[in-house]
Amino acid sequence: MPLRLFNTLTGQIDQLAPSDGKAFRIYACGPTVYDYGHIGNFRTFLQIDVLRRCLKLMGVPIRHVMNITDVDDKIIRNASAAGQSIAEYSGRFVDAFFEDIAALRIERPEQIARATEHIPKMVDLVQRLAEVGAAYKTEEGSWYFRLSAFPEYGKLSKKDLSGIEDGARIDVDEYEKDSARDFALWKAAKPGETSWDTPIGRGRPGWHIECSAMSMEYLGDSFDLHAGGEDLMFPHHENEIAQSESVTHKPLALHWMHVRFLLVEGRKMSKSEGNFYTLRDLLLRGYKASAIRLALISVPYRHQLNFTFEGLTEATNAIERLRNFHERLLKGTFPAGENPEIHRLAAQAQAEYFEALSNDLNTAEARAPIFDMIRSANTAIDQGRFFAADRDSILGVLASFDAVFDVLQNHDDEPTRRALEWAEKAGRLDDVAPELLARQCVSDEAIDALVAERALAKKHRNFARADQIRQELAEKGVILEDSKDGVRWKRK
């Protein structure tokens, strides 16, 4: 089933297929590494992960490139305030970013490209732009893109730029919607700032040029899809199109995907509002990485996601239901035979799931039939209408679900452990939820020992001690389940 996706450039839903007949080529703007990633950033990276996984699930080979902006106004400002080089300053945020995407199970793109490692490619592009009259140098040695040299400027964001002043310039990397101006391609070196000595002079790149240079380097002059958050549509992506297409005269990307911003409790997320959360903040509050993943992907990318703590709790409960059901299927023994109704149930859930994803990555509508299937299958098991030969069809649907959602297996302990280690080093232990600290203070071995002691206490009919142990473990977030095969425990 081909994937249909809204295309910002054409303003309509278009089908996705590799234009070279081989691999679907994606370029996604990556993080600017001046701080830890926040949940808004991760919403965008997760939705791009959903796209990649859906294409793979539908059998489309992909080649996905993501840049890392490791030089820009903010990095320079913060590094200088910290008395560090930009490489030192951004290095730890690059590491943190990879740790965070691993925690959220975001697949790594096939190619990661760091801006500071591609300066010569950017310089080449500025030179090519100068040759075609689309770039000019100022007296202080900076280079600007000449907007009047690209009449199609504004075609992505559908802006009417008839009123802009010819030759007016803007030199900051990010700017407001009404300030379309000749923008900086290359900024002349300033004292104390990192700079490179190049054929176009000593300086450093503007923000936009890196994505044009690196996307064309790895994916060619024209590729299949370009993605990023909605804020990047203007000016960043518009500028990328102008820079690339002025020299290639080919469409930079055939398809443009923009992920809508996330709100927190109905408001714009901001540090000053006190509603700003990094992934680490949430892990330290005791939320599991899988629940954060599910909460951030369950609202389709073109809808505004209103992030709330109730939403996170809902995602936590949904994962619990999924995992319990999966375990029930794997560990349960079912009578021989099969029930055609269950096969129909599985086939219908699978078809609805694929249809919803194919339809502009509608993750909300894709999730619903899976949970409906779980409810019906659980009832069938309870009522003895579920047989041994039914198991595989249901497991098959869960596998397709998990190929995209990836929350079925429990990989949650490692991210939480790492976040706690980080909190200790970063002096953030005060932000750790007390239940989480209590939970982490008890090792698997200690739990096993208490469970064994409880079994012995019960054997000796010392029920008071047995109850006391159950209570003690519950306070540390450990739940005991008595079964006929003995006692099983799990962390909450």
Q: Which residues bind ligand AMP (CB under 6 A)?
A: 29, 31-32, 40-41, 43-44, 228-229, 231-232, 259, 261-262, 269
Q: Of the two residues 211 and 397, which places its CB atom closer to Zn ion in the complex?
A: 211
Q: Of the two residues 105 and 226, which places its CB atom closer to ligand AMP in the complex?
A: 226
Question: How many chain residues bind Zn ion (CB under 5 A)?
Answer: 2
First to last CA, the chain: 39
- Nearest alpha-carbon partner for 174 in 116, 258, 236: 236
Partner in contact with 297, chosen from ligand AMP, Zn ion, none, beta carbon below 5 to 8 Å by kind = none
Partner in contact with 489, chosen from Zn ion, ligand AMP, none, beta carbon below 5 to 8 Å by kind = none
Tokens of 136: 């000019």
Smallest separation, CB 37 to ligand AMP (Å) = 7
Q: Of the two residues 242 and 420, which places its CB atom closer to Zn ion in the complex?
A: 242
Strand pairing partners for 112?
Answer: 66
Rounded to 5°, angle at Cα 413 from 488 and 293: 115
Smallest separation, CB 9 to ligand AMP (Å) = 17
| Residue pair 380/339 in contact by the 8 Å Cβ criterion | yes
Q: Of the two residues 253 and 312, which places its CB atom closer to Zn ion in the complex?
A: 253
Q: Of the two residues 70 and 390, which places its CB atom closer to Zn ion in the complex?
A: 70
Alpha helices in 299-338 (DSSP H): 309-331
Strand pairing partners for 128?
Answer: none
Partner in contact with 293, chosen from Zn ion, ligand AMP, none, beta carbon below 5 to 8 Å by kind = none
Q: Of the two residues 185 and 398, which places its CB atom closer to Zn ion in the complex?
A: 185
Q: Could you say which of 129, 211, 257, 361 contacts Zn ion (CB under 5 A)?
A: 211
What is the residue-wise DSSP string for 426-489? TT-GGGS-HHHHHHHTS-HHHHHHHHHHHHHHHHTT-HHHHHHHHHHHHHTTEEEEEETTEEEE
Stretch in the footprint of Zn ion (CB under 5 A) among 26-34, 36-44, 338-346, 355-363: 26-34
Partner in contact with 211, chosen from ligand AMP, Zn ion, none, beta carbon below 5 to 8 Å by kind = Zn ion
Taking CB atoms, the residue at the shortest distance from ligand AMP is: 229
The 111-114 sheet, strands edge to edge: 111-114, 62-68, 24-28, 223-229, 253-259
Tokens of 288: 């599991």
Residues 166-185 that bind Zn ion (CB under 5 A): none
Q: Could you say which of 29, 115, 282, 284 contacts Zn ion (CB under 5 A)?
A: 29
Q: Of the two residues 129 and 211, which places its CB atom closer to Zn ion in the complex?
A: 211
- Nearest alpha-carbon partner for 179 in 130, 239, 134, 227: 239
Smallest separation, CB 208 to ligand AMP (Å) = 12
Q: Of the two residues 43 and 204, which places its CB atom closer to ligand AMP in the complex?
A: 43
Cβ neighbours for 251, distance < 8 A, ≥ 6 positions apart = 222, 245
Strand pairing partners for 489?
Answer: 480
Phi, psi of 251 (to 5 degrees): -65, 130
Q: Which residue bears the tokens 């080979």? A: 61
Smallest separation, CB 261 to ligand AMP (Å) = 4
Partner in contact with 90, chosen from Zn ion, ligand AMP, none, beta carbon below 5 to 8 Å by kind = none
Q: List contacts with Zn ion (CB under 5 A).
A: 29, 211
